[in-house]
Each structure stands twice: as structure tokens, then as C-alpha cells.
Structure 1
Amino acid sequence: MTLSMEDGVPAAPSLHGERQAAYYESLLDLERRWDGDPSSEELAAWRERRTAEVVDWVRAESPFYAERLGDDWQGEKQDFFTTKADLAAAGLSVLSGSVEDAQVYYETTGTTGPPTPCPRSPLEVAVSNRGILRAWREMLSRHFPGERPFVAVMGPSELYAFGDVFGDVARSCGLGHVKLWPDSPRVGFARALRLLRELSVSVVACAPSMVLELARELLRTGQDPADLGIRQFLVLGEVSTPEFLRNAGTLWPGSRVGPGMYGSQEAMCIAGGWPDGRLRLSEPNYAVELVDPETGTPSPGDTGELVVTMLTPGVKPLIRYRTGDLVRIDPWAPGDLPGRALTVLGRAKDNVVFAVGGPVTAYDLEEAALTGLERCLGYQIVLEDAAEASGAPGDRVVLRVQFADAAPAPERTAAAVGRLTALTGAEVRVEVVDDLDARAHQGALISWKAARIVDDRKGAR
């Protein structure tokens, strides 16, 4: 039996076809009736029912969960999580089924730990992509009415879902697309930039650092980014603060730069980037919790480490999976777009500790570093030892920045210096450089912290 998909998403054979087809049809029915309120009784009933079903599913089909959950599962009342270490150790035994049940096989990149298997069934592909598809349809309605913009998907494809997700979503919207990753040895920046121009690409999906890299390469070769006519960048895969997005927009006049998606190889598409410039949770697909990253206890506020239970009975649903990401979830208000707005603050282990004050998130550091800066092609934060006036150990923060134009006057960087000083309690200075350490341009390929932070302090905190 094949799984019937709407919106042009290809059908594929599935071992559990009838069950998966029924789930998909019930999801579509929920979407038609749901008003977007995450606290609605209808959605709550859906989550309760689907959580119980998916727990039964993994206990029956997954050797890992059959052993770990046993027969006494009590949902959130149990002190149970699925961790990245669990997935690395379990390998294929975490699957609810076999690789043959998958439509496609991916692995994690290994930037945050050993690579782990991440196959997706036909149902998981269709359900996961729906949140992105709905956001794109809203974007097209608002910003490209009556048009069919051509899309460039500028990210890795081998063993990685990025290219497939955005390629499928573009196709489902009736849009042409090209997979065009400049870091691929088959592409390169010269070819990528030529095709962006020749194909009149209007929408680009890529990592935040790639938005800067494309501008950097164009300016290096004497070209003006504005001449390419790109009208929308959708970014994903790294922390991207409002200050980053605003600065990136100054390098690309006439283009909007906004979030495209938040998710992971393991947990799929958790939130989509909507045309209001916010990431919004794919509420029907997950039961979401926030916990203290140190203790694992429930977070009392709107900020904490994101924990998700994946409600889709596919080949790899995860139960209470600790993403390792610090997020803030804002309350939903009537009239909002569907789903609560989510802000990604960075990985919990990417927090930076200073001599004065507590840990600082990647989000707060980037937001402070880029305050008021324009046409900045990249930045890197160097941490050094410094002595306080009292003789106690202290910190020095050196903000290295590269600009598209001549170095700005000191008053143009004063806001960043002031905000970094207030945030870190450290001595701060700015260094304008002609180029940055190569790591600063690698972004998601090596992790935000590895790319942006150089910690030269003794016994780095």
C-alpha cells in the first residue's frame, strides 16, 4: 500500500501503510479545524491521545525503548529522558522498525557528538515538512503574490536532510529550485554566484553565515550583492539573533533576511520560519517541555532546555528527547500565526562563563556584539585574562569584526562595546580586521561556539 500525500509530496511504500495513512489523514483534519491556539482543548486532546499511542508504538517496535520504558511508563511523572548519548550508544536499536521502513536515511553530522542514525519514514517526511510548507505558503501569499519565485537551497545534502526538506517544500509550493551548496567541491562560490544571477534566484535557504559569505565573495570580486535581486533569505542551522538578521540585511539591500526553520537531524522540523520573522512551533507534531539544563527538572518560566516527544508513529519517534538547546517560548495570543513563537538561545554547553556574573548564552553574546553594526561581514569574540583593579582575576573581551567598507568611526561601535561590557562585566575593545580566522566563516559546520569564540584564558571557564 502507498501512503497518499497531498500538496505534491511524493508517496512511497510503507510497511505500516494503513496506520500511517490514517494518522496523516487525521492530522490534516486537525489542521483544518484548529485555529492555531496551542492551548486549545482540541490540540490538548490530540497530544494526549498521540503521546499514549506513540509510547505504545515504540515499546512494541523499538528494542531500545522496549528495554528502557518497560511497562510502567507514566509520561512526564517518570524521571526519563532520551539523550544524545543514548542515541549514540543505541545506534539502530532505537528505531521503531528497520531501515527498510525508511524513505530516506540520514545521520547527524557529528558536530555535537558521534554521528547517530536518523532515518525517516514516508509519514515522518510528510508530517515534518508540513510545518515548513504552511509557513512558505504564508510567505508566498504575503511577499510574492501571484509569483513563482525560483529557489536556491544552499546547504549539504549527503546524509543530511537540509536539501531534501527545502527541495520538497519548494516542489509542493509549485516552485522550481536548485541545490547549490558553495562548499561542495562540485559547486564552489564562483559557480554558485554565477547561477544565482543567471537563474534569477529570488529565495535562498541557507545557514546564517552563508548570507555573509556570499556577500563577502561578491564584494571581493567587485560585485554588488544588490544586483543579484535576491528578495528573501531563509536561514537555519545556527543561532541568528535579530541584530544578526538586521546587519545581514544591510549587506543585501532589497532583501528580507529571516529564520527559515529550527530543528535537527534527530528531531526533524520542530519550528518553521513565518513571514512575521519568528520561528513558530509545529504544535501538532510534538509534546514540548522546558527543563533546567543542569538538573532536568521542569523550568518554572518560559526559558529552558527544550525537550520534545515526537508524536508521529514513524521509524524513529523519540520520547522526551533532550535537544541540548536553550530556548524561550512566548505565549500565544489570539490573532497570532499558528503556534507559539520560539527563540533559540544556543546550545546549553555553548554558554560562556565570565569572572563577573553567571553564564552568558550564545544568543546574548551575538546580540550584544552586533548591536548597531552595519555591513559587518563577520565577527569573532576573543576572551583573554585580565586583572581587576583589586587584583582579582578578570576577563578581557576582544571583538574582532570585518566590514564591507572602511572601518567605521568609533562611535559606530560604541553601542556594541557598551552592551558587551554590561553583559560580561569584562573590559571590552574592538579590533577591525581585514579578514577573520577561517573558523569564523564555518558556522554550523563546526558549531557556533567553535566558530565565534576563541577562549585564550588560562583554564578557560
Structure 2
Amino acid sequence: MTTLATHFISRFIFPLHEYIKGHGTVRILRQLETSQWWSADRLAEFQAARLRRLIKFASQQVPYYRKLFAEAGIGPNDIRSPEDLPKLPFLTKDLIRANMDVLKADNASSLVRFNTGGSTGEPLIFYLGKERVGHDVAAKWRATRWWGVDIGDPEVVVWGSPVELGAQNRLREWRDHLLRTRLLSAFDMSERNLDYFIAEIRRLRPKMLFGYPSAIAHIARHVQKRGGSMNDLGVQVAFVTAERLYEDQYSDIESTFGCRVANGYGGRDAGFVAHQCPEGSLHITAEDIVVELVDQAGKLVAAGEPGEVVITHLATKEFPFIRYRTGDVAVFDDQLCGCGRSLPVLKEIQGRTTDFIVAADGTVMHGLALIYVLRDLPGIESFKIIQESKTEMRVLLVPVNGGYSRAVEDGIRRDFQDRLGKGVRVNVEPVAEIPPERSGKFRYVVSHVTLHS
């Protein structure tokens, strides 16, 4: 049930906020809430028309793509639909770093510098225009409404944000207060801070949570460890994104907060790619984004097969993202969703390519193969698996209640070698804590071994 405060914020305050920032968010939201119910054919033609406009603009106004089209010997009319995109080469993080200036449109006027969190190593710096930001905000707004909540409903956000005291941050704090959003920093999740976070959530009684699944699950487990529960606060949904959502995280969040868990997929670079509806399907924002899934050789994969996510964002004229390799791995679903939306569906997000382990004989396996070895060990609070090479692994463990012993270490080493090869060195290291990545995210598995075809 929408309160008067929520209605006022979502109908007046937030639209005014977006208007002042020069974003067409409200107009875009109206279109998205209509187009999600179109037929698949109509949606596909709409997407193709937007793709043609982007390609034509990039070939004429963006130096990088003017040169690329000339060297490839093709014109914008050769790219008429998403099926034609493989005629173009991929855009990679290294290419963006090397071509930052020539990726900007000649007439770009509203570009703002952004960067990724750098959870895979080196952060990526890039630029976004107001058009792109407005489309991403509108897509997130639409998905929020799928769950019966809205902009202006009380919200707690657990995100990788340092606590700073500059004027800009005070302004943001005032804005968040006006919109009834409370930010809790995932950069510091010490015992003392976790107690504070729990007290704040109890005080605010939010209708929705938003953040990294690892961070929200960490809070949930802290509540459980204290023998408590937070299922009486009225939390309706926990929106999680930016990391793979594991089953145990889903269960811990759902049981502790007594709410549904809605998985989302996207990033600052890739955009608001997909979000889960209450029926359980992860719908792609097809009006704005073309998703391709490719194998290690760069060839398209069929529905049901895992592939690296390649993004073409249709609202990025001033700094185009065309066939951008994200490094994420996902699977298409060819089944229609029971919710009635024609938006295509991702069956699952498997994680980043660096979440995959390469055995000594070259076999590629998902990190879950090793996570399952550690996840249910008694006396282990948390862990992290780092593959340094095909022949060397590090396992960081945070033991509790004397849970670490030589027998536990030997068992881990034996189970890992059964999967990876008998000659693989497995170094088990008990530690006091495992900090998150610089981005604030937590990754169970990090591999420094490149996947080759």
C-alpha cells in the first residue's frame, strides 16, 4: 500500500530531482512500463530500430567507429539488427583504456567520468552521457515497481561507499534523507559496525533493502549469530546485484528478514542489464540493451549454454558501448515467463570469467566446485579461494570456536586435489578476517589463470 509520503516523493520530488539533473527518466519510465507488455516481435523491431540509429550515429560522429567502419569495409547499413552485430569486432576494457578520447562523439556535451570498482584488478575509466544515465535509472525504477515498492518507500542500501565529509557528499546525504534512503557502507563490516547496521535497520523499518548479496547476507548471519530475527520489520524485498547470488545467501536473507529476494544484473559500465520479476525470471532490459553470449572463441552460444556476456547499450551515443565484453558469464533461457512480459530472459548469471577455475589438465570448472568443499565445514566462518596458477591454490579461512585443525586442512587439500590434480599445491591459511575487494564486493573465488579456447 502506497503511503502519502511515497506518493509525493515518487510523483513529485524524484521527478523534479531527475529533471534538474537533465535526465529524461520519467518519460523513459512511461515508455518502459508500456513496452514490457508488447509482443516479442514488436519489441525486437523497436530494439533493432534503436540499434540502427546508434550504429549510424557512431559511424558518423565517433572517431573510433569512423575508423573502425572504414578499416572493416562496411557501412552502417550493414548493421540492421542484432543478428548483424558479429560483423563488428568486440570492444574490450583494454581498447577503452587505449582509445578513451576517440571513443567520445565529436558533439558530446554531457559526458561525466565514471569508473568501475576494480574488483577484478584494474578499475576501468569511461564516460557516460545524460541519456544513458536516464535510461538506467528508469530501468531500475521499473524493476522496483515490479515488486510492489516504489521510489520514496523507506530503503536501506548496503554498498561500497567510503564515508566522506565533503560538500558533495553532504548534499547527497541530504538528498538521500529526502528520498528516504539510508546508505550503509560495505567497506567497513566490523563486529561493531554490524551491530550499528542492525540497529539502524530496526530503527528505519525499511520496505526494501538494496546492495551486494554478500553484504546483506553477512548482516543476516550476524543477526542469526546473535540469536535474533528481523522478519517483523515489514521488509518486502531485498534487491541484490553486482555479485553472483548463491543459494545460501538467498536463504539467509530471506529467512532473517522475512522477505523475497530479487536478483539483478548490471554494472556501471554495462548498464542495468537484467532484473528478476516476482515470477522468478531474470528479464533483460531489451529496450535499451542488446545481449550476446559468446564462447571462448567469440562465437555465439545457444540457449542453455554458458557464454561471456557481450553488451551493446543503445543509449550510449556520446561514448558508445558496442559489443562490449563484460567478463561475466550467463545462460540464456528460451522459455517465456509466466508474468506475461515479453522481455527476454537470462536463465542464470554464473559470475565472472575469473570466478572459474582451471585444473592442472586444462579443464575449466566453475568455482562452485571448490566452494562446496568449504561452505559446510563446521567451525569455518568465511573463506576465499585464490588460484595463483594451474599448479598453486591459496585458501584463506576465518575459523571460529577452534574449528581449524590439521585434519581440516588435510581434508581441504585432499578434496581440492581430487578436483584439480594431485600435483596442485594447496596452501591453507587461517586468517583473522577476509576484507572485501576495493569495490566493497566480496568474491569467494578469484582466479589469475586466463581461460583459453
- Match for 2:117: what amino acid? T
Q: Which residue in the other structure is 2:165 paired with?
A: none
Q: Tell me the secondary structure at the aligned position of residue 307 of structure 1.
A: strand
Q: C-alpha separation between the residues in 2 aligned to 1:384 and 1:110?
A: 18
CA distance in 2, matches of 1:446, 1:100: 31
Q: 1:90-239 counterparts in 2 under 5 A?
A: 90-96=99-105, 100-102=109-111, 104-112=112-120, 114-140=122-148, 149-157=153-161, 176-183=180-187, 188-189=193-194, 191-215=196-220, 217-218=222-223, 222=226, 224-226=228-230, 229=233, 231=235, 232-239=237-244
Q: CA deviation at 1:327?
A: 0.7
- Secondary structure of the structure 2 residue equivalent to 1:48: helix
Q: Which amino acid aligns with 1:116?
A: L
Task: Give me the whole-angstrom Cα distance separating, in 2, the residues matched to 1:33 and 1:300.
Answer: 26
Q: 8 Å contact 1:182–1:192 — kept in the other structure?
A: no
1:380–1:436: 8 Å Cα contact kept in structure 2?
no
Instruction: Return the offset for 1:59.
Output: 2.6
Partner of 2:258: 254
Shift of 1:136: 1.3
Aligned-partner residue type, residue 224 of structure 1: G
In 2: Cα distance, 1:268 partner to 1:153 partner: 19
Answer whether contact 1:247 1:375 (CA < 8 A) is retained.
Answer: no
Shift of 1:27: 8.0
Is the contact between residue 233 and residue 257 of structure 1 (CA under 8 Å) also seen in structure 2? yes
Does the CA contact (< 8 Å) of 2:29 and 2:138 recur in 1? no
Q: 1:30 to 1:200 in 2, by over 3 A?
A: closer
Please state whether the residue corresponding to 2:148 is helix, strand or coil.
Answer: helix
* Deviation, structure 1 residue 54: 0.4
Q: Structure 1 residues 239, 77: closer, same or farther in 2, change over 3 A? A: closer
Distance 1:202 1:446, change over 3 A: closer
- The one-letter amino acid paired with 1:183 is F
What displacement does 1:120 show? Answer: 3.1
What runs of 5+ residues in structure 1 fail to find an aligned partner? Answer: 15-19, 159-163, 386-392, 408-415
Kindly state the Cα deviation for residue 358 of structure 1 after the two structures are TM-superposed.
1.8
The aligned residue for residue 309 of structure 2 is 306
Contact 2:161-2:186 within 8 A present in 1 as well = no
CA distance in 2, matches of 1:225, 1:376: 22
Superimposed CA distance per residue, residues 135-167 of structure 1 (whole angstroms, 9 cap, x where no aligned partner): 2112126xx9xx975201121357xxxxx9xx9
Maintained 8 Å contact 2:129/2:316:
no
1:84 Cα deviation from its structure 2 partner: 0.9
**Deviation, structure 1 residue 68:** 2.4
User: SS at the partner of 1:283?
Assistant: coil
Question: 2: distance between equivalents of 1:244 and 1:417?
Answer: 25
Are the equivalent residues in 1 in contact too, given 2:253–2:261 (CA < 8 A)?
Answer: yes
Instruction: Tell me if the contact between 1:288 and 1:306 (Cα under 8 Å) persists in the aligned partners.
Output: yes
Residue 358 of structure 1 corresponds to which residue in structure 2? 363
Counterpart in the other structure of 1:270:
273
Q: Is the 8 A contact 2:381 2:397 kept in 1?
A: no
**Structure 1, residues 432-451: CA drift from partner, whole Å, max 9, x if none?**
99x85633x515737765x5
Shift of 1:362: 3.4
Q: Which moved more, 1:118-127 or 1:284-293?
A: 118-127
Deviation at 1:51, TM superposition (A): 1.0
State the distance in 1 between where 2:447 and 2:128 align: 37
Aligned position for 2:384 = 380
Whole-Å Cα distance in 1 between the matches of residues 437 and 238 of structure 2? Answer: 16
What displacement does 1:105 show?
3.8
The AA in structure 1 aligned to 2:114 is Y
Unpaired segments ≥5 residues, structure 2: 1-9, 80-84, 163-168, 404-411
Distance 1:24 1:288 in 2: 25
The residue type equivalent to 2:58 in the other structure is: V
Count matched residues.
404
Task: Tell me which residue corresponds to 2:433.
Answer: 438
Tell me the distance in 1 between the aligned counterparts of 2:29 and 2:218: 39
2:326 maps to: 323
Determine the C-alpha separation between the residues in 2 that align with 1:401 and 1:36. Answer: 50
> Contact 1:345 / 1:364 at 8 angstroms: preserved in 2?
no
Could you report, residue by residue, the CA deviation over 1:216-246 in whole angstroms, capped at 9, with x for unpaired residues? 55567x5724378373322212121334322
> What CA distance in whole angstroms lies between the structure 2 residues aligned with 1:444 and 1:329?
30
Counterparts of 1:248 and 1:26, CA distance in 2: 32
Map of 1:412 onto structure 2:
none
* Distance in 2 separating the partners of 1:26 and 1:235: 23
After TM superposition, give the deviation of residue 296 of structure 1 in Å. 1.1
Distance 1:223 1:177, change over 3 A: farther
CA distance in 1, matches of 2:200, 2:106: 42
Contact 2:161 2:187 in 1 (8 A): no
Partner of 1:84: 93
Q: Which amino acid aligns with 2:34?
A: R
Q: How far apart, in 2, do the equivalents of 1:287 and 1:45 lie?
A: 12
Q: Structure 1, residues 400-443: CA drift from partner, whole Å, max 9, x if none?
A: 5767x997xxxxxxxx999989976889xxxx99x85633x515
Q: TM-score, normalised by structure 1?
A: 0.70
1:370/1:243 CA distance change after superposition, 3 Å: farther
CA RMSD of the aligned region, Å? 4.8
After superposition, the Cα gap between the structure-2 partners of 1:266 and 1:34, relative to the gap in structure 1 and judged at 3 Å, is closer
Indicate the larger mover: 23-32 or 202-211. 23-32
